[in-house]
Structure 1
Amino acid sequence: MPPMLPPLARGDIEEAADACAAAPLLNCLLREVGEPTGDPGVHRLHAGGRLLRVRGERRPARPEVYADGGWHRLTHPELVKLAAEELRRHTGLSNSELPTEIIDSRDAVAALLAARARATPPAGPYLRSEQSLITGHPHHPAPKARGGGPVTGWLPYAPEAYARFPLELLGVREDTVVEEGDTTALDTFGEAPPGYRLLPAHPWQLDLVGARPEIRDAFADGRLIRLGRTAGPLWPTAAIRTLYAPEDDLFVKFSLDVRITNDIRRLWRHDLLKLRRTDAATASAFGAVPGSAAWLSDRGYRTADFAFEELAVLVRDGLREHVVPGATPLLAAALVEESFDGSPLNGLTDPSAWWTAYLRQVVPPVLDAFARHGVVIEAHLQNALVAIDADGMPVQALFRDAEGVKLLPQVTRAAGWERLVYCLIVNHLMELAALLAERHPGMDPWPAVRRELTRYDTDHGLPEIADLLTSPTVPGKTNLLLRWTGADGADARYVPLPNPLARH
């Protein structure tokens, strides 16, 4: 199979960045405002009626537009211009911010590719998987945008550049501390003087917010003091603002006042205030789920009352207490990235057996949490880890991120099921199924998915499954339209996609 990116040994990082950035933008255009014409690779854009031709399906490339009686290849800037024109016609709205963000994302890819060529990747496969996402979200127009800031401001903290760095250690005066849950693990990073509590900070976030009056004044009057840095480095994971401390086997998640994909990545007050209830419900659900599936619990948070969101830090379970003995966890999103060195899918000889094992680990716990406990987790590729044995076979699934969890009846059952189907089926399984079908011509991954869903329904009873297996469509999130119309990042809107389960 040809690689998604041109080999960087040819020295053309700019060409590689164009190809990498074009694929998710094209995926969005074709999904949200286009339709296939019946000719291979040719799509008609709804509003303008223009014909767009691409090569490849999972990661479309080499876009061409039909004009003046022939096909004309689009450069990346021309593709961005075409997308903006189509969206203006489609929505009746203008947006000068998103095209800039798309170009920023493309330029970030170029910077990341150049940095990776000079950097040393992590030795272990788990951290390599977390730091492998050069393409990122395959259906977002600007998956690698970093807020438009200078490269020097964000590159030292980029997981895709194999970054590792110490935390800044602050002392926050005890009478201003706000915390909930179990935050004792934070105190292992250093020592605060009498009258203060330790508050680790992400150095990028401190650069972003440190000059704001509420924080500047706190340094000036002694409510906040600097205590140096952690003794060793932490590793940013795919989520960028969540870091892993391997020696302590601990994850810490920070606010980051930067737009990454759809949201400014703060630990918002409203999310933190409901965190313990949400996480407790999810942990309880997974504690009752049969088998080895695990939930990485968000144990608690600590912050300062004068900068509640800006300086918040969240403590998350590490891996060792959850991963089954002898298994190696990998980020599921890394499995669909061509840049991940160490994927069990490389050189796979029996894809059907591997896929069946994968589905058996990933699908039932997500369904069980919903059916028996009313918990809807965001089981998309970036929130799921799969642990493999020495032969590369999946033996366990682990899930994370209480911030994205929804509980019934806080959301309706129908809305919860739609979210589950999007995250698990569309965002997760459709991506892996497409990769397997691409690498193994003749393989149809969907009968195995159908069998796994049917098996769960037979054993446990989940009425929504029968409808899912016969519905002509499944929901696809409209990230391009969400960003173009300026919708809230958490405001999921969907377009109907052909349901691959209904064809079998």
Structure 2
Amino acid sequence: MERVDLIPPPAGADAATRAGVAERADAYAAAPLLNCLLREVARPLPGRAGVYRLPGGDRLLRVRGGRRPAAPEVSTPHGWHRLDHPELVKLVSEELRRHTGLSNHELPAEMLDSRDAVAALLAARARATPSDDPYLRSEQSLVTGHPHHPAPKARGGGPAAGWLPYAPEAYARFPLVLLGLREDAVVEEGDTSALDALGEPPPGYRLLPAHPWQLDLTARDLAPAFADGRLIRLDTTASPVWPTAAIRTVYAPERDLFLKFSLDVRITNDVRRLWRHDLLRLRRTDAAVRAALAGGPAAWLSDRGYRTADFAFEELAVLVRDGVRGHVPPGATPFLAAGLVEGFAGSPLDGPGDPGRWWGAYLRQVVPPVLAAFAGHGVVLEAHLQNSLVACAADGTPVRALFRDAEGVKLLPEVPRAAGWERLVYCLVVNHLAELAEALAERHAGLDPWAAVRRELARHDLPEIAGLLTAPTLPAKTNLLLRWTGADGAAARYRPLPNPLAAG
């Protein structure tokens, strides 16, 4: 899809201009939904570029090709009919009912909610000012979001006024609410000392920061604890925090600290709680990753510990994570990999004079640590676009990879080696390198990003590498079918995708 202007017209614009804004919001929302439909359900029609057969019947779908397909049209007895976003949602829902034999009333509503959220984000971005920090701009750049999800911007169906103040895509920054948690109700593990530096609780209480959106979402459930004094409201943090691409994870620049919270709302595939079972394995997982990456070129943003309440273990949990500054070489700037794909002002992806050299440097920073952690330590990093950062020197050259989020890490033999390798290939190659390779090729005509990927992978002595370089397909996660069939978000399902690594 041709990149669209992120800034909608001002209030009071004429009807034609407002219609143009609506069309751009449709395009943003349609692109990832179409990506899902074309990857998971539709089949290319031989000999007709950009035309696909839909499996539910004789209907054909035509799209303008490219990294972000747009302008969907469906065949009718009277010719091709252009689909707006609601019509596309209706078409996808009908095809999925025929394809799976299942009905789903929740997902179509989320698709529409995602489109409306995009429109609200576009309007909010026009009124707000992005951060001067290029790292924060990269974290807050994802207006489209997950490029292969049917509803990447759905926010639980509530009014935009309830979530826009906390939306990274709207350049949000806000103070956290500081609660006092009665000492006999505190549950914590690991190093949570950074939380105690945020304020001063009264005697008999410990400090517990809370995300204001989560307090709104859980107000009814937490009311008894406020009433009987297990919780008290104290103040707010002295400085604002910045929500990152993960939404529920915020960054405090003054303290160089990340804090991750629960949000009782479905975002993409899951309700974004810090689940008890994940918190209870956190220290073991984090220690395994730290050992796997110790002494190597990449950095790990450690999940140091968590604090919560025994009566609201998941609802009020807060996770303490390393900041970026201590892990970045002097003079370098970190950038979120997903932001490089989507684009933002000051992106190093727009500036390299020699894109092939830049890409080679990127691969040398990102690929070896992921493969070494798997081969030497049985650690499967969730190295997808939103969990991977790359630090670039002043000239834009990648000089260090940074990885984060112990919650998504898998360990062998807790998962079988074959399943761990499949997950690694999906996260690193399909979700991460393929998206960035296509974005780079889009900016630099004639560049073959996959030749460099093949060379980098071939340098590593893993028994799975030969198969990866010659297999006809790669595993692609089926987010549309996963959500339509109601599968748990952690129960990843894959379908084969043509392997660009085998083309050379």
TM-score, length-normalised on structure 2? 0.96
- State the secondary structure of the residue aligned to 2:93: helix
1:35 pairs with 2:39: no
1:368 is aligned, of 369, 372, 375, to 372
CA distance, structure 2, for counterparts of residue 6 and residue 62 of structure 1: 18
- State the secondary structure of the residue aligned to 2:326: coil
CA distance, structure 2, for counterparts of residue 115 and residue 59 of structure 1: 23
Residue aligning to 1:353: 357
Report deviation, 1:5.
4.4
Residue aligning to 2:101: 92
Residue aligning to 2:405: 401
CA distance, structure 1, for counterparts of residue 304 and residue 160 of structure 2: 33
Report deviation, 1:56.
2.5
Is the Cα contact below 8 Å between 1:132 and 1:160 reproduced in 2?
yes
Residue aligning to 1:231: 238
1:469 pairs with 2:455: no
- Structure 2, unaligned runs of 5 or more: 10-16
Report deviation, 1:301.
0.2
1:298 is aligned, of 300, 303, 310, to 303
Identity %: 77
The residue identity in structure 2 corresponding to 1:150 is P
1:284 is aligned, of 282, 286, 291, to 291
Worse-superposed segment, 29-38 or 346-355: 346-355
1:74 pairs with 2:83: yes
Residue aligning to 1:22: 30
CA distance, structure 1, for counterparts of residue 353 and residue 32 of structure 2: 29
Q: 1:181-218: per-residue Cα shift (whole Å, max 9, x none)?
A: 00000111111111110000000000110221xx2111
Report deviation, 1:241.
0.3
CA distance, structure 1, for counterparts of residue 238 and residue 244 of structure 2: 19
- Structure 1, unaligned runs of 5 or more: none
Q: 1:48-83: per-residue Cα shift (whole Å, max 9, x none)?
A: 242111112210010001111521111111100000
- State the secondary structure of the residue aligned to 1:211: helix
Report deviation, 1:13.
2.2
Report deviation, 1:263.
0.2
Residue aligning to 1:478: 478
Q: 1:299-358: per-residue Cα shift (whole Å, max 9, x none)?
A: 0000000000000000000011111111000000001114x1111122433111111011
- Cα root mean square deviation, aligned: 1.2
Is the Cα contact below 8 Å between 2:72 and 2:82 reproduced in 1?
yes
Report deviation, 1:36.
1.4
Residue aligning to 1:343: 347
Report deviation, 1:4.
3.7
2:447 is aligned, of 439, 443, 451, to 443
Residue aligning to 2:499: 499
CA distance, structure 2, for counterparts of residue 442 and residue 48 of structure 1: 39
TM-score, length-normalised on structure 1? 0.96
CA distance, structure 2, for counterparts of residue 323 and residue 140 of structure 1: 31
Residue aligning to 2:14: none
1:161 pairs with 2:166: no
Report deviation, 1:47.
2.7
Residue aligning to 2:458: 454
Is the Cα contact below 8 Å between 1:4 and 1:59 reproduced in 2?
no
Report deviation, 1:6.
7.3
CA distance, structure 1, for counterparts of residue 293 and residue 455 of structure 2: 23
Q: How does 1:262-277 map to 2 (within 5 A)?
A: 262-277=269-284
- State the secondary structure of the residue aligned to 2:264: strand
The residue identity in structure 2 corresponding to 1:151 is A
1:122 is aligned, of 131, 134, 140, to 131
Worse-superposed segment, 327-336 or 68-77: 68-77
Report deviation, 1:2.
4.6
Is the Cα contact below 8 Å between 2:252 and 2:258 reproduced in 1?
yes
Q: 1:137-164: per-residue Cα shift (whole Å, max 9, x none)?
A: 0000000000001111101000000000
Residue aligning to 1:325: 330
The residue identity in structure 2 corresponding to 1:29 is L
CA distance, structure 2, for counterparts of residue 138 and residue 48 of structure 1: 27
Is the Cα contact below 8 Å between 2:140 and 2:170 reproduced in 1?
yes
CA distance, structure 2, for counterparts of residue 370 and residue 100 of structure 1: 39
Residue aligning to 2:266: 259
